[in-house]
Amino acid sequence: MCDTENPKFPELAGLDEDVLMPSGWSHFNLGSQRSQSLRSFPAPWLSRLGFLMRMIFFALSFILTITILSQVFQNQSQHNLEHEAILKKLNQLSAQLKDGGVFQNQSQHNLEHEAIQKKLNQLSAQLKDDVDLRTKEQVQASQLIQQLNKTLSTLCSPCPCDWKLYKDSCYHFSVYRKPWEAARGACEADDSNLVIISSSEEQKYLNQRADSNHRWWVGLSDKKKEGLWHWVDGTTLKQAFWNAGEPNNAGDEDCCELTSQGWNDAPCSKENFWICEKKASSCIKL
């Protein structure tokens, strides 16, 4: 017989709706009518709904667990790879250190450094030898130049053969007499001029060289203007060596003559010996 009064799940038939509903549902105010509806809802459906919810909760929990475990394993795998790479590098360094690779490179560098230092020392020694050789050659060249200059000085004649050399000038003492202008002309014909006395040393030299028994024309006159003495090169007289009381222009005396005592103004027409002067030739020096 089929008993419709007995439910298929008799164990649920006697339970209250608060027991069959999920936790917390009872807090909702379903009202007496809703409560009445649930009481009239068939018990098998309530049982199936609870089972379905448990399955969904279980499935979600399972998926979440799988996801977390997958992430953990993935991170662990990456860490393992990094660890393996570091370990591999350490093994390589250990092997290199073991077979002396590092020290071998250092030793090679030391050898190269020693080779470079040795080469530098050789170049330095070679440079010093070159400098010593250059110095020796310069000394020899200097000695040779001095010897050549000495030889040239013996060959060099700064003055003509019948002229006298004093400092930078050559002097010619005439052997006959002429008036002042003719004597000046004779000097100019010989590429010189009547002597210009420009220092006490020159004056002393001429007094020593000239025959004291004669009087000698020098290149000084006041022919252009009385009392204003000029040298033959146009310069005015600055340092004079007149005899005492001279120049006195006694009888129109406009030309200067050298005597054993000093200078005297005398008539230019008077015939005297004369002294020519010209610059000495410079010998070539190395």
Binding stretches for Ca ion (CB under 5 A): 222, 246, 248-249, 253-254, 264-265
Q: How far is the CB of 207 from Ca ion (least distance, A)?
A: 18
Residue number, 265 or 277, with CB nearest to Ca ion? 265
Angle of helix 43-98 versus helix 101-155 axis, rounded to 10: 40
* Cα dihedral 15, 18, 21, 26 in deg (nearest 10): 170
Question: Closer CB to Ca ion, residue 24 or residue 227?
Answer: 227
Cβ 202 to Ca ion, closest distance in Å?
22
CB of 200 to Ca ion, least distance (A): 21
Nearer to Ca ion, 135 or 249 (CB): 249
**Shorter beta-carbon distance to Ca ion: residue 158 or 262:** 262
The minimum distance between CB 208 and Ca ion, in angstroms, equals: 23
Taking Cα atoms as reference points, which of 120, 102, 154, 156 lies closest to residue 280? 156
Select 14 or 251, whichever has its Cβ closest to Ca ion: 251
Q: Tell me how far, at minimum, the Cβ of 241 lies from Ca ion, in Å.
A: 14
What span, in angstroms and rounded, lies between the C-alpha atoms of 79 and 61?
A: 27
* Ordered alpha helix ranges (H), the chain: 10-13, 17-20, 31-40, 43-98, 101-155, 180-189, 200-209
CB of 245 to Ca ion, least distance (A): 8
Nearer to Ca ion, 108 or 235 (CB): 235
**What does 119-180 look like in DSSP terms, one character per residue?**
HHHHHHHHHHHHHHHHHHHHHHHHHHHHHHHHHHHHH--SS-TTSEEETTEEEEE-SS-B-H
